[in-house]
Structure 1
Amino acid sequence: MGVERAVAELGVLIYPGAQMAAVHGLTDLFGVANRIAAEHQTAQLPLLRVSHWQGEGDQVPERVYDSHPGPDGGLVAVMIPPSIGGFSESQAPQGLIRWIRQQHAQGATLGGVCVGSILMAESGLLDGRSATTHWTSAKTFAERYPTIKLLADTPIVDDGDLITTAGLMAWSELGLRMVDRLLGPSIASGTARFLVVEHSDSASQCGSNFAPILSHGDASILKVQHWLQSTGATDVSLTAMAERAGLEERTFLRRFRAATGLKPTEYCQHLRVGKAREMLEFTNGTIDHIAWTVGYQDPSAFRATFKKITGLAPSDYRARFGVTPPVSVAR
């Protein structure tokens, strides 16, 4: 008798002009991950249920494909594929925009590829956050969305609940990020090997990038999590978090840990280190500057926390996984 596995539903959004190769590619990628996970024969790994959602204009997207039909437990994530054809931000379907906002408010992680990041920007969810997009859209993107910190030279910006990627074919890395989060780095690496696509070694060697649990159903705690993601948790206190949740501190502590599996202090540490990992991989800022940027006044405290979570000193992490040369220091 087989073990009963939990189900995690991943929605792929189909909008007018969406690249269907990415829609079906993501579907196949998650199918391969399911097959590799099933070989482990453990109930601890969830079954990835893949659904396609389609809508135009003011229509609310409807499920048009379901890999494993069953009870509706809500979407863990929404993937927004790229578009090969022309796309006008002013013509973004309002029904899709409202649906995207609704899914995020209910705890879904959003992942946008290329034009997908524009739909996320149109939703307003990226305001005040960091994002990337395809190089051909960078100038227009920066002008239209001045409150978004555009990192045009960064291939992927994983900001916890919002992930944006820059390349048309980056849907594979986005899919692997979600496999990493839900099934673990070894399953993600195995999926990448099977499909012969590139995948960062940092997750398999240093643990997954921080993947906050958002689909727990506690609206008060989710509100705080979205706030921490948007601020980077750089200057927060237990009192401020409890007030944001509208809860007494002891109640907040209990519910936060029950929902996320972490104490608030641990959660903030993981969030900051996750942002630091990305900066070490894709930027050439000094380690002290990165420490300050992610909220550490004391660089030595940052180094100790970073090593505790990843197993590597920040300098060693950059040497192994960085894609840009380090800053040269004048003698």
Structure 2
Amino acid sequence: MHTIVVLAVPDVIAFDLATPVEVFGRARLPDGRPAYRVVVCGADSVVDAGPIRIQVEAGLEELERADTVVVPGRNDITVPTPPVFIEALRTAAAMGTRIASICVGALTLAEAGLLDGRRATTHWLTADTLARRHPAVEVDRDVLYVDAGNIVTSAGAAAGLDLCLHLIRRDFGMAVAADASRLAVAPLHRSGGQAQFVVRNPPRYATATLEGVLAWIEKNTHRDLALADIAQAAHTSVRTLTRRFHTETGQSPMEWVTGVRIRHAQELLETTDHSVERIAHQVGFASTGNFRTHFGRLVGVSPRDYRATFGMSERRT
């Protein structure tokens, strides 16, 4: 039987730990037998998990018998992972054990050096932190999970469920995975990726010198803006403005404008029944076709599909 070991790291996120326990623990083969043996292990018998405490059934030696190790996230990612967990993960990886992370658990994998030179993902709010701390990791901010063979990473919270169902499909095929998805009352595959959940270019973006012009852009993206208009509002040259944007946001001024327009469009898709054509005009796009192109590129789904997922429930019926 395939053994899943869920690592109870200190200060573990309870949701991240419970997801693999429940999903793998309830998976059944066609003849009704359990598909997995699931064990929770840690360095201590009791682990704090935010406002609750979790009794741990096994020690870290259980990793030696694991086929898959799942690493949940921790509530406080500023605290380094205890060395005993890092060493245990490195040893398991060297043995060829499959290792998966949920949410910010990717930071623990990165601490162990297991993501160097690999494509990986994590919660979109933490993606920049992962990239900054571990520049050897190729961080994909837009997907729900990344399967890199024996190392698998997922985005935040519910994406851990997507990852678990994916691994069941990989281990036992579509039928077993579909049955597990029905038990979880969750789709076996969700359209789009993490990109549709990202808040783009937030109005209170932390920046050294661009605060004033970012606020101006927030109020004026409905207009037909050119780079010269933004530079004039910032009381600087186009060249200086472009340099500051790249330094402080990683984007060009017009890329920032597009991101703000897309965020405004998402808000309207969520809260109104305005047509896509009307929304495109309201947020500042020159044409509906241009809006659809940019929306699909940045969000990963069409405006219509986004509204179907995030729109007000009474408008989806």
Superposition pairs of residues 121-270 of structure 1, within 5 angstroms: 121-200=110-189
The question of whether the paired residues in 2 share the 8 Å contact of 1:46 and 1:183 is answered with no
Superposition pairs of residues 58-73 of structure 1, within 5 angstroms: 64-65=56-57
Runs ≥4 residues deviating over 4 A? 322-325
The question of whether the paired residues in 1 share the 8 Å contact of 2:25 and 2:34 is answered with no
Instruction: Report the counterpart of residue 109 of structure 1 in structure 2.
Output: 98
Instruction: Report the counterpart of residue 78 of structure 1 in structure 2.
Output: 69
TM-superposed CA distance for 1:46, in Å, is: 7.2
Task: Give % identity.
Answer: 30
Q: Distance in 2 between matches of 1:72 and 1:101?
A: 11
Report the TM-score when normalising by structure 1: 0.50
Q: Distance in 1 between matches of 2:119 and 2:94?
A: 19
- Match of 1:51, SS state, is strand
- Match of 2:70, SS state, is strand
Name structure 2 gaps, 5 residues minimum.
45-54, 192-298, 303-317
The question of whether the paired residues in 1 share the 8 Å contact of 2:169 and 2:177 is answered with yes
Residue 194 and residue 46 in structure 1: after superposition, are their counterparts in 2 closer, same or farther (change >3 A)?
closer
Superposition pairs of residues 7-22 of structure 1, within 5 angstroms: 7-22=1-16
Name structure 1 gaps, 5 residues minimum.
1-6, 57-62, 203-321, 326-331
Structure number with bigger Rg: 2
CA deviation profile, 1:86-142 (whole Å, cap 9, x unmatched) = 221x52211101101111111211111111100000111111110111122122211
Q: Counterpart of 1:86 in structure 2: which amino acid?
A: D
Instruction: Report the counterpart of residue 54 of structure 1 in structure 2.
Output: 42
Residue 65 and residue 181 in structure 1: after superposition, are their counterparts in 2 closer, same or farther (change >3 A)?
farther
Residue 134 and residue 72 in structure 1: after superposition, are their counterparts in 2 closer, same or farther (change >3 A)?
closer
Superposition pairs of residues 90-105 of structure 1, within 5 angstroms: 91-105=80-94
- Match of 1:174, SS state, is helix
CA deviation profile, 1:148-198 (whole Å, cap 9, x unmatched) = 111112221111111111112222112112211222111111111121112
Report the TM-score when normalising by structure 2: 0.52
Superposition pairs of residues 293-312 of structure 1, within 5 angstroms: none
